[in-house]
Structure 1
């Protein structure tokens, strides 16, 4: 059972463990039974994870003499809203939830982001744990404490840094996902290799077929390695003041595509396109070698990531990038690659190269 430690020992000790294994829901039940994180669990899920996991979790807790509060939100990005955030807070207050209780986020990135923001805000903060059920949430959004909702003007503009007390990543949950959700998560998987670990990129390229088949052994290794990489970065920079910015590789362009598409494309899909665009632009700018770009393209092709054309307007994408949260003194900050496995933060990146590459993926 791989266990990844996220070491966060600043003014307060916010450290926690990520457990990665196949079929670990019993561990979740045992820890909640023992009141390890709080008394009454508030289980927040969406319509899909309620049927797949939520009702079973409630039943298992009931057998242990625990009566949780089960709250369900509609599936999809639209649930990451201030309206849904408010309705969950009201439901918890009406049910008599106190600061001694615990929020359990049971679902993908939307549920995790929303639940964490609810937990961090309710009565100025109560404990929460993450039980991520999608590949994207297991390798990325459940780790690092970024929680948020969207507002009309942009994604994740209303939120905070609020760390979970523990993360339980059950590899068996991946078997329930449609192919599009797997591909969305793989976008974040390859990102971790691109920014920090050339050897991991080679591993993914050599084992692409086993990754696509969700081989149990390979996926346990993949999820754990991504968590190790992100945990290392977050432990050095919890609140994104420096090195943590490299985790945004592909995101500035990807978020703009996601917003332009009205969230019809998933986050992971958009990040994959963002990485394609930025890697090619880095090559145009003389930063990334032809050899490294070729491996970058090969592993994405083998995993089926960002392989088609998009119905986008490059000039509008460029305008949306200027509204990104990471804009600094009016300049768009781009995370690029100077070699595969090493990301660099560029505050003066030649944006004309990005616009040129965007034009190359238009239908």
Structure 2
């Protein structure tokens, strides 16, 4: 099974491994039994992953005389809130959880972000392990240590960098997902090719049918390659001081769209729309060639990404973009493409190009 190493040797060695493959979740139980990451596991999941994976994990641990604490939050983006965050901390304190225990994030990006922030905050930090069960979480949010909750003014405004001890990305879990969740994850998948690996983008185009069918071998390649790309970037820029910002390609526009719709649209879906807008704006600005734009859009079309028409106000989207965390000295910092497979940070990107594309596309 593929294994990706995230090398983080700064002031402290925060390196960890990512196991990718069909059935890797089976190795979680013996690792927890060996107390590899901590004593009592605090398993945090949502209502869906509780039924699909959580109860089974608890039963398996009980057979090994381990009594985990199972905490369940409502499914959906609304659980990434300060209220839910506080309720989990209170439940852990009441159960007597200590710094020698370990948080297990069992679910998608919401559960992972929330659980990581809980683990990083509880008693000033206890170990946590990511067990991502959605495609988006496996290729993106479970890797890199960005954990957070939302506040009313915006997404991920309250959080920290806090790395997991290990990541178990089980390809078999993807078969439990509805089509919309798969497409949301694919939005983040194609992003990795667009910003860092043209050949990977071409691979996705050539294998689109197998990707959509969740072919085990192809998806192991897809997930591990995305993790490799992100691990390389994070290893060189753990706390988003420079290079790591290219991982936000499509996100500045995408987060604005997400906020505009009150988080009713999937994150990956919004990022997909953001990437389409930015790619066209880069082409309009003379940065991205016609042939590269065509390949960019062909990959997204073949994978049915961000193909629906949206009713948005370009004025409102532009205003929401100006609230983004990446605003610097009053200017919106944009991740742009100067060729497919290579992203650049633009602090003075012509935002009128973005507004023009929003007006034409939507």
TM-score by length of 2: 1.00
Unaligned 5+ segments in structure 2 are: none
Deviations 1:127-180 (A, max 9, x none): 000000000000000000000000000000000000000000000000000000
Deviations 1:101-133 (A, max 9, x none): 000000000000000000000000000000000
In the alignment, what sits opposite 2:195?
195
Deviations 1:61-87 (A, max 9, x none): 001110000000000000000000000
Q: Given that residues 116 and 128 in structure 1 are in contact (C-alpha distance below 8 angstroms), is that contact kept between their aligned partners in structure 2?
A: yes
CA distance in 2, matches of 1:100, 1:308: 48
Alignment of 1:42-121 (within 5 A): 42-121=42-121
In the alignment, what sits opposite 1:232?
232
Q: Given that residues 205 and 302 in structure 1 are in contact (C-alpha distance below 8 angstroms), is that contact kept between their aligned partners in structure 2?
A: yes
Q: Does residue 301 in structure 1 map to residue 296 in structure 2?
A: no
Alignment of 1:105-144 (within 5 A): 105-144=105-144
In the alignment, what sits opposite 1:324?
324
Deviations 1:42-78 (A, max 9, x none): 0000000000000000000001110000000000000
Unaligned 5+ segments in structure 1 are: none
CA distance in 2, matches of 1:354, 1:53: 42
In the alignment, what sits opposite 2:249?
249
CA distance in 1, matches of 2:98, 2:158: 24
Q: Given that residues 25 and 169 in structure 2 are in contact (C-alpha distance below 8 angstroms), is that contact kept between their aligned partners in structure 1?
A: no
Secondary structure (helix, strand or coil) at the match of 2:328 reads coil
The Cα of 1:244 is off from its aligned counterpart by 0.2
In the alignment, what sits opposite 1:27?
27
The Cα of 1:360 is off from its aligned counterpart by 2.1
- Once structures 1 and 2 are overlaid, which stretch shifts more, 19-28 or 226-235? 19-28
In the alignment, what sits opposite 1:281?
281
Secondary structure (helix, strand or coil) at the match of 2:214 reads coil
The Cα of 1:359 is off from its aligned counterpart by 1.2
In the alignment, what sits opposite 1:272?
272
The Cα of 1:26 is off from its aligned counterpart by 1.8
CA distance in 1, matches of 2:336, 2:66: 49
CA distance in 2, matches of 1:205, 1:282: 21
Secondary structure (helix, strand or coil) at the match of 1:43 reads strand
The Cα of 1:361 is off from its aligned counterpart by 2.5
Task: Provide the aligned length of Structure 1 versus Structure 2.
Answer: 362
CA distance in 2, matches of 1:223, 1:46: 23
In the alignment, what sits opposite 2:145?
145
Following TM superposition, the consecutive aligned residue runs of length 4 or more in structure 1 with deviations greater than 4 angstroms are none
CA distance in 1, matches of 2:314, 2:112: 31
CA distance in 2, matches of 1:305, 1:263: 18
The Cα of 1:308 is off from its aligned counterpart by 1.7
Q: Given that residues 148 and 160 in structure 2 are in contact (C-alpha distance below 8 angstroms), is that contact kept between their aligned partners in structure 1?
A: yes
Q: Given that residues 135 and 182 in structure 2 are in contact (C-alpha distance below 8 angstroms), is that contact kept between their aligned partners in structure 1?
A: yes
In the alignment, what sits opposite 1:262?
262
Q: Given that residues 308 and 361 in structure 1 are in contact (C-alpha distance below 8 angstroms), is that contact kept between their aligned partners in structure 2?
A: no
Q: Given that residues 135 and 185 in structure 1 are in contact (C-alpha distance below 8 angstroms), is that contact kept between their aligned partners in structure 2?
A: yes
CA distance in 2, matches of 1:77, 1:359: 28
Q: Does residue 218 in structure 1 map to residue 218 in structure 2?
A: yes
- Once structures 1 and 2 are overlaid, which stretch shifts more, 21-30 or 213-222? 21-30
Secondary structure (helix, strand or coil) at the match of 2:220 reads helix
